[in-house]
Amino acid sequence: MTAYLDHAATTPVLPEVIDVVAATMRDVGNASSLHAAGRSARRIVEEARESIADDLGARPSEVVFTSGGTESDNMAIKGSLWRQTAKDPRRRRLLISAVEHHAVLDPVEHLVTTGQADVTWLMPEADGVITPSALTAALAEDPDAAAVVSVMWANNEIGTIQPIAALAAAAHEAGVPLHTDAVQTLGQVPLDLTATDADMVTLTGHKVGGPLGVGVLVVGRDQDLVALTHGGGQERQLRSGTLDVPGIAGLAVAVRYAVAHQEAEARRLAVLRDRLIDGAHALDSSITVSGFWERGDTTRRLAGNAHLRVPGCDGDSLLYLLDAVGVQCSTGSACQAGVPQPSHVLLAMGLSESDARGALRLTLGHTSTEDDVQAFLHALPAAVERARRARHATDRAS
């Protein structure tokens, strides 16, 4: 038996999405063509756009289709920085949370190392939260230099949900736009973009049962971005390239499903998450959960995220030992050539490298059941015992 506990990496595609993608693939048509086949393809795209806009509380014209989260993040950060510095060369400071995904961190580091921008890192509290007052203080340091703020809606490693509406308000107070990467949030937290007022929002299909390789950047109508790709001028001139009609059609189905089931699903997953965390505690009281966690809560921590730290273990040993018995999870941190690096998220929260080593991220999704949780809890004690022995052996040898 296998237990898939890595839904934050990617979650199974919904059967109804597969049906729509397959059906759409059978039809010919470039959405930019002017004849009947083109119009038919274009209609599918625009209906998908309207459907997604409706589900998110956005306007259709604000929905820009991309290849996924990484492209959307790059488009938001680079596109708004470049537009702002073109208008006013002093506006070159990026205010970025230190717990972002690499799809934000790495473009920012690229912009800084190539001399195109300066950066102020927004540090989280010990529970992983970026407070609006921290943002306000950072903005006040040099108010004329700020170009764009980026804070993810919910953290991909530890599941902490950020106060995005309040952060957006703080950014707007200083006249600065806010981007948020919401790829982990869709389907777990209500995403009412009208109420939240973020200026740019990144979403991706494969975290919610949609196809891989298709996503969205919601770009507020008043946001003027410099495009990253140039060509046919599709998507408000922001993202040239022939539209992926089947992917977009499938994405709309997945977003609709995620939004329609969000409330019930969040409640269901939070129960499983709490059982998993409580169960791990019961097996080994030294295991700690990272970030804010309260039983039953779905508003401050993602309902499907359990991030555990097991003292005396290496995360990659635990991952191997659990994988060997069919329990699939993640260490949570980014990999370089397959090697897990110490998590920048945990380090930013003030943990030592050694405390960050035994991290394990277990994430639940639409196919998760009580059996998955039990399979993990069943496998955990032996894995922890072995992993501790392995750490001991390597520490002793060095």
Partner 1 sequence: MRVVAAMSGGVDSAVAASRMLEAGHEVVGVHLALSQSAATLRESARGCCTIEDAGDARRVADRLGIPFYVWDMAERFAKDVVADFIAEYEAGRTPNPCLKCNEKIKFAALLDKALALGFDAVATGHYAQIVEVPDAGAPLGMRRELHRAVDMAKDQSYVLGVLDEDQLARSFFPLGDTTKPEIRAEAAERGFSIAKKPDSHDICFIPDGDTRAWLTKRLGAQPGPIVDTDGEVLGQHQGAYAYTVGQRKGLGLTVPAADGEPRYVTSTQVKSNTVVVGTHELLGVDHITGDHARWCGPAPEGVIEIGAQIRAHGQEYPATAWAEGEQVQVRLAERIRGVAPGQSVVLYDGTRVVGSATIVSAGR
Q: Does 90 bind partner 1 (CB under 8 A)?
A: no
- Part in contact with partner 1 (CB under 8 A); list of ranges 85-93, 97-105, 179-187, 386-394: 386-394
3 state DSSP class of 205 = helix
> By CB under 8 A, is residue 378 in contact with partner 1?
no
- 114 belongs to the binding site for partner 1 (CB under 8 A): no
User: With respect to partner 1, which residue has the nearer C-beta, 34 or 397?
Assistant: 397
In the chain, the amino acid numbered 170 is: A
The reply to whether 336 sits near partner 1 by the rule CB under 8 A is yes
Distance CA 276, CA 24 (A): 40
Contact region with partner 1 (CB under 8 A), list: 96-104, 112-120, 245-253, 382-390: 382-390
Tell me, by CB under 8 A, how many residues bind partner 1. Answer: 21
Across the chain, the runs of DSSP E, i.e. the strands, are 3-4, 63-66, 93-97, 118-122, 146-150, 178-181, 200-204, 215-219, 288-289, 305-309, 327-328, 335-336, 339-340, 359-363
Looking at the Cβ atoms of 92 and 388, the one nearer to partner 1 is: 388
* N-to-C CA span, the chain: 37
Concatenated DSSP letters for 253-317?
HHHHHHHHHHHHHHHHHHHHHHHHHHHHHHH-TT-EE-S---TT--SSB-TTEEEEE-TT--HHH
- The tokens for 286 are 């030294």
In the bound state with partner 1, the residue whose beta carbon lies nearer, of 282 and 393, is 393
Site string for partner 1, 45-74 (x = CB under 8 A): ------------------------------
Sort strands 215-219 and 200-204 into parallel, antiparallel or unpaired: antiparallel
Number of residues in the chain: 398
Of 21, 68, 8, the closest CA to residue 368 belongs to 8
* Catalytic (active site) residue 313: no
- For partner 1, which is the closer residue by CB, 140 or 335? 335
Q: How far is the CB of 12 from partner 1 (least distance, A)?
A: 21
- Which of the residues 260, 324, 335, 393 is marked catalytic? 335
Range in contact with partner 1 (rule: CB under 8 A) among 101-109, 126-134, 319-327, 343-351: 319-327
Cα distance between residue 105 and residue 128, in whole Å: 16
Least separation in angstroms between residue 273's CB and partner 1 is: 27
Pairing verdict, β 335-336 and 339-340:
antiparallel
Binding residue (CB under 8 A) for partner 1 from 1, 195, 264, 339: 339
Two tokens at 250?
Answer: 């499938």
Find all residues with CB under 8 Å of 132, minimum gap 6, and list them: 163, 166, 167, 169, 170
CB of 87 to partner 1, least distance (A): 35
| Complex with partner 1: residue 155 or 317, whichever CB lies closer | 317
The verdict on 390 binding partner 1 (CB under 8 A) reads: yes
- The single residue among 324, 354, 369, 370 that binds partner 1, judged by CB under 8 A, is 324
CB of residue 68 vs partner 1: minimum separation in angstroms? 22
Choosing from 89, 154, 340, 365, the residue that interacts with partner 1 (CB under 8 A) is 340
CB of 389 to partner 1, least distance (A): 4
Q: Token pair of 242, please? A: 């022939």
By CB under 8 A, tell whether 316 contacts partner 1. yes
When asked if residue 242 is in the footprint of partner 1 (CB under 8 A), the reply is: no
102 binding partner 1? (CB under 8 A): no
Helix 370-397 with 245-283: angle, nearest 10 deg: 70
**Which is closer to partner 1, CB of 168 or CB of 356?**
356
Q: Of residues 109, 118, 297, 323, which one binds partner 1 by CB under 8 A?
A: 323
Q: Which of 1, 23, 96 shows the shortest CA–CA distance to 249?
A: 23
Look-up: residue for tokens 């998110």? 56
44: contact with partner 1 by CB under 8 A: no
Cα separation of 225 and 81, whole Å?
A: 8
Binding flag, residue 387, partner 1 (CB under 8 A): yes
Q: Which residues are catalytic?
A: 335
Which residues contribute to the site for partner 1 (CB under 8 A)?
316-317, 320-321, 323-324, 336-340, 386-387, 389-390, 392-394, 396-398
